[in-house]
Amino acid sequence: MLRSVIVAIVTRCTRHAWTVIVIASLLALASGVYAAKHFGINTDINTLISQDLPWRQRELAFEKAFPQHLRSILIVVDAPTPELTTEATSALVKRLQANDELFESVAQPGGGDFFRKNGLLFLPRDETEKIAGQLTQAEPLISQLATDPSLRGLIEVLQMGLTGVELEKTTLDAMVRPLTMTADTSTQ
């Protein structure tokens, strides 16, 4: 039964080949037009989740309040020392700010004038307490440098440090870094 139906269809199609080709072409064209108008792929992942959900509404409100988090480029600058990193970052920020055609705004997170002035406020509490303790211990040395910021004042501070080693208030190992930094600076 099935065989005779298939043979009949093939026979009619071969007798009226041009009619079948025209009808098939018109059907393919109509299907293509219908698919182009009615089928589409939305690649925006933000539309996959309903915007009526409470957490999604909060997310949309956050994005509206802080649009700088969208379409941002983050650049990480790495250098052998923190000073070189800061210098390279500042130079990069200046060059990017000069190109206002490509960049709406350029910001230096954790840097700039505000963080230079208020940077200690953003350290974890333990690190802030550690730095405050170190500054308290170094107060005599800092006040000496503040009153005499010349080479003579620096030499006196180093002498005070070595006197502290003699009186066993500090160790010679603790003096390695300041002495090395002084030697490196004076040889340049």
Which residues are CB-neighbours of 106 under 8 A, at least 6 positions away? 93, 96, 97
Assigned token pair, 134: 């170190």
34-52 in b/e form (b: 16+ CB < 10 A) is eeeeeeeeeeeeeeeeeee
Q: Say what the pTM is.
A: 0.35
Answer with the residue of higher pLDDT: 46 or 102.
102
Whether 77 shows a pLDDT value over 90: the answer reads: no
Domain ranges (residues) in the chain:
2-36, 69-122, 125-187
Which pLDDT band holds residue 70 (cuts at 50, 70, 90)? low
How confident is residue 24, by pLDDT bands cut at 50, 70 and 90? Answer: very high
pLDDT score for 174: 77
CA–CA separation, 15 vs 9, rounded Å? 10
pLDDT band at 69 (very low <50, low <70, confident <90, very high): low
Q: What is the pLDDT of residue 120?
A: 64
Q: What is the pLDDT of residues 104-162, one digit of tens each?
A: 788 777 676 777 677 666 677 788 888 888 778 777 777 877 888 888 888 888 888 88
